[in-house]
Amino acid sequence: MPRYDIRPLTEAEVQHGVDWARHEGWHPGVHDAECFRPTDPDGFLVGFWMAR
């Protein structure tokens, strides 16, 4: 049965998301993630749909 997992992103995953957004033409704020992450390390969440 499929399962949906939600967890905080790692620092590398956050950077990957920022880079991905920039590549697609978004302007996520160049230093927003590095300023926010120390304030709330669990604040960037990701969801994964996992087939079993």
Per-residue confidence (pLDDT) for residue 2, from 0 to 100: 73
Show contacts of 14-18: CB within 8 Å, 24+ apart.
14/44, 17/44
Residue bearing the bigger pLDDT, 9 or 29: 9
Digit-coded pLDDT (tens) for 11-31: 899 889 888 888 888 876 777
Q: Interior CA angle at 48 toward 46 and 52, to 5°?
A: 160
- Which residues form the domain of 17? 3-50
* Number of separate domains in the chain: 1
